[in-house]
Structure 1
Amino acid sequence: MHITNFYVVGLGALGTMYATQLAHYVEESKVPTSLKVIVDAGRKERYLKEGVYCNEEEVKLSYVTPGEIEQEEADAKEHAFDPESLTVFMICTKHHHLKQVMEELLPSFVRYHRQQGPVVLFAVTNGIESEGLLAEKFGKENVLYSMAQSAAYRQSSDSGEEGKKGFRTSYSFAGKAHRGEEKEGEPTPRLTCIAELLNRAGIDCVVQAQIKRVMWSKLMFNCGVNQVLAVFLSTYGDLQTGKKEIPDGVTPEDIPSLLSQLTDDPAQLQALRAEKPWVQHQLYIAAMKEVIAISQHEPLYTDGGERIALTEADIDYYEDMVKGLVPTYAPSMKMDMAAGRKTEVEVFAGTIMQWGAKYGVPVPVNTKLFEVAVSLERRYGAA
């Protein structure tokens, strides 16, 4: 099996980072893989006019719209179906944009390429719901499970940074791209094919036998780091230094008192951040522990049996990762909050609140973070 077409959908931070690495590889290696970015007509015009940059380097990408692929389909002669010719769609949008992408951008591409060979879709969106949504729309047999770990951030051309134009992404930690099939077993040919291409392009792709567990560990981390840093409008450096400044005698039993100090008043949050810099680290850990508690109940596979069962070793893994991040960087949820955009709090705390209710597990930290984040979204002007 070989990849004939590879489409990237969404040029946010992750999409730009991955598209850049893939574009360099395809150009330098001359592999017979067509790499294109799916966009609407308006975005195509803006990207071509203003440019897309990754770590200060302008990236030359090929863009294609649904209208253009529909015209190509109309003009094309009948194709023989080749079971070895794979078309891949890597979706890199925010979770709350996924449904729009599935309805407006992807259908014509999937329909066209299904006539030529097998297709596979996977999303590197946050949360644990995208695979189900893609399966419902395009068929379970065409979906891979996926999770990305990285530290990248995006600035658009209207960021106001003097002397810099275009859509800019910076990253210091490319991280790992985890891929897997729903059921545990030997890697399938399509999974192996995709992993090999990504690895050759410099994207560290790990094939996971238990991909659902890895996805839950990322959800755990997001519930801690994204939500806390977004609420306090802070950076990874706050977590790095905050852990060192926890006063003697502060224990998990102090969490209810800390929650009572959270408010949707930005000035009070900044005062709390200055007075007690360790508070963010405590809340970050407490939010993750609630996800661990829920994971003891959630089945790893649809047929029941083994549970996901995260442990505090998963927290330790991410704690080590945070130590190596650029202190002045922040996750995308903080960037969205500061810019007055809708955040992914519903994908994080909203999901955990639902699962907590399902299994009878109390989740007071995620509940409070949800309430404060939603209120702050309104204050900062998110639609």
Structure 2
Amino acid sequence: MNSIAVIGAGALGLLYGAPLATLLKDKLFFIAEGDRVRRINETVYSINGKEHRFQAFSPDQLGEKPDIVLVAVKNHHLESIVPLLDALLEEGTLVVSVLNGIDSERFIEERFPQAKVLYSVAVGMDAVKEGNSLNYSNPGKLLLGTKNNDSRDGDLNELTALLDTAGIPWDVPEDIIRSLWWKWMINIGMNQVSAVTGAPYGVFHADKTVQALMEDAMLETVRVAKAEGVDLRDEDVPAWYSIMNKLGPEGKTSMLQDVEARRKTEVEAFAGKLMERAKKHSIPVPVNQTLFRIIKMKELLYLT
């Protein structure tokens, strides 16, 4: 594994791009189109107070295609980067998608069967991105696995060795699909409730009302997961607190950051997708239906 291309210079793209660039130098680069290439090349990013510069290219500027592509865009931007992926992915290219939600890996596999997709989910970070600055007290952990949970997979082990060298925390869980759904459950609970209430992590640490609303949304996710044959359990909801309480109290979910910056949110990938799956099984999800409507109304007010 000699080179890594990152698509997306948001919080996760920078969180993982910075240590990988320190290790790999010019073998780590961002891929973008049009004016985004210039902006990334000209921007001085501040990551926990340390300045970083990154190199960016359009696909037609590359001499050799990358060995690994790290996809770190918002869920609703996935379709728009298909031309970039089409230009980058060849037989055996390793793809790591750190998008929120449970569908990005399957989407990439179906569109690009020549690539090898590792399933992944970023958990436990409390990064806040404001402008060109990214700050965090907890970098969290990158969970990785193959679709069939083969922990002996050669590409998986090469990648985790690289992450070790770069100082990026990682783990290979026994069931990566469960891990994806578990993170989706957290997003559906905490992210959406924070977007509606404006609550940072510190409020979730202490306030029983906001905790109850978060738990109700998460339990609806558990019920749908069980119907889909995914090993989520009721006890996964209270177990989340041991991780949540380690998040910096001033930190904010990515969805709250989107609302405050008046950007499109990922609500379709959270409550929207849950409602679709719940309908298949005739499972009521009234909390998520209400959260979906409130967040869509917020978007309507500031996006139009």
Task: Identify whether the pair has TM-score above 0.5, normalized to the shorter chain.
Answer: yes
The equivalent residue for 1:287 is 217
**Alpha carbons 1:341, 1:382 under 8 Å: kept:** yes
Q: For the Cα contact (< 8 Å) 2:258–2:264, is it kept in 1?
A: yes
**Deviation by residue 1:313-372 (Cα, 9 ceiling, x = unmatched):** 322332111211111211110111122111001100011111111112111100100011
When normalised by structure 1's length, the TM-score is 0.75
8 Å CA contact 1:147–1:218 kept in 2: the answer is yes
Q: Give the alignment of 1:293-308 within 5 angstroms.
A: 293-299=223-229, 308=230
Q: Which residue pairs with 1:56 in the alignment? A: 49
The alpha-carbon distance between structure 1 residues 345 and 19, as it changes in their structure 2 partners (threshold 3 A), is same
Q: Are 2:40 and 2:54, in contact at CA under 8 Å, matched by a contact in 1? A: no
Q: Over aligned residues, Cα RMSD in angstroms?
A: 1.8
SS at match of 2:279: helix
How many angstroms apart in 1 are the aligned matches of 2:201 and 2:246? 10
User: Is 1:101 aligned with 2:98?
Assistant: no
**Residue 180 of structure 2 corresponds to which residue in structure 1?**
215
Change (3 A) 1:315 1:49: same
For residues 61-92 of structure 1, give each alpha carbon's deviation from its aligned partner in whole angstroms, at most 9, with x where no partner exists: 222212202xx36xx9xxxxxxxxx8111101
Aligned 8 A contact 1:134 1:140 in 2? no
Question: How far apart, CA to CA, are the structure 2 residues paired with 1:217 and 1:241?
Answer: 22
Query: Match for 1:338 among 255, 260, 266?
Result: 260
Distance 1:140 1:360 in 2: 37
Equivalent runs, 1:68-83 vs 2, <5 Å: 68-69=61-62, 72=63
Unpaired stretches in structure 2, ≥5 consecutive residues: none
Paired with 2:236 and 2:138, the residues of 1 have a C-alpha distance of: 19
Conserved? CA contact 2:194–2:256, under 8 Å: yes
- Offset, 1:141: 5.4
> Residue by residue, what CA displacement relative to the aligned partner does 1:218-260 show, whole Å, maximum 9, x if unpaired?
00000010000001122111111203xxxxxxxxxxxxxxxxx
Q: Counterpart of 1:62 in structure 2: which amino acid?
A: Q
Deviation at 1:186, TM superposition (A): 3.8
Does the CA-based 8 Å contact 2:45-2:133 persist in structure 1?
A: yes
Aligned length: 303
CA contact (8 A) 2:69 2:96 kept: yes
1:358 correspondence with 2:280: yes
2:60 to 67, 70, 73: 67
Counterparts in 2 of 1:149-160, with a 5 A limit?
149=123, 150-156=125-131
Please say if residues 145 and 151 of structure 2, whose CA atoms lie closer than 8 Å, have aligned partners that are also in contact.
no
Identity of counterpart residues, as a percentage? 32
Cα–Cα, structure 1 residues 228 and 24, in superposed 2: closer, same or farther, change >3 Å? same
Kindly indicate whether the alpha-carbon contact (under 8 Å) linking 1:66 and 1:106 is maintained by their aligned counterparts in 2.
no
Change (3 A) 1:286 1:203: same
User: Match of 2:197, as an amino acid?
Assistant: F
TM-score by length of 2: 0.94
Equivalent positions of 1:101-250 (< 5 A) are: 101-103=81-83, 105-111=84-90, 114=91, 118-139=92-113, 142-149=116-123, 150-156=125-131, 167-243=132-208
Q: Is the 8 A contact 1:145 1:182 kept in 2?
A: yes
